[in-house]
Amino acid sequence: MITKEDVQHIAHLARIELTPEEEERFQHDLSAILQFVEQLNQVDTTGIEPMTGGTHLEQITRMDAQINTDLEHRSAGLIEATSEKRGQMVSVKSVFE
């Protein structure tokens, strides 16, 4: 059973303020959760293979490679491709009035 002091300590760690009514409710709710977990601990799991994620899929990641970030040479082509420009800048519609 969770005590009110336990609830107050958890609330302090979480940096939240609880009213006395909330403390009482959380005391009941957290105790119920721990009782349910205790029931789960009593289940016979001999012969059951532990799961690590519920799937046999493997994580696929791309290689970390440097990309061409030299925008100075690429910007001329981008500016030329736009329909509206002012000098070396792209003209866009106003977002705010």
- Domains of the chain, first to last: 4-41 (1.10.20.60)
pTM given for the model: 0.48
Chain position carrying tokens 């009593």: 42
The per-residue pLDDT for 67 is 79
Q: 84 and 90 in contact (C-beta within 8 Å)?
A: yes
Q: What tokens were used for 33?
A: 């959760």
In this prediction, residue 9 carries a pLDDT of: 97
Residue type at 25 in one-letter notation: R
Within the chain, which residues score under 50 in pLDDT? none
Q: Which residues contact 26 (CB under 8 A, 6 or more apart)?
A: 2, 7, 10, 11, 18
pLDDT for res 11: 96
Give residue 96's pLDDT: 87
CA–CA distance, 28 with 20 (Å, rounded to integer): 13
What is d(CA 69, CA 64) in angstroms, rounded to the nearest whole number? Answer: 15
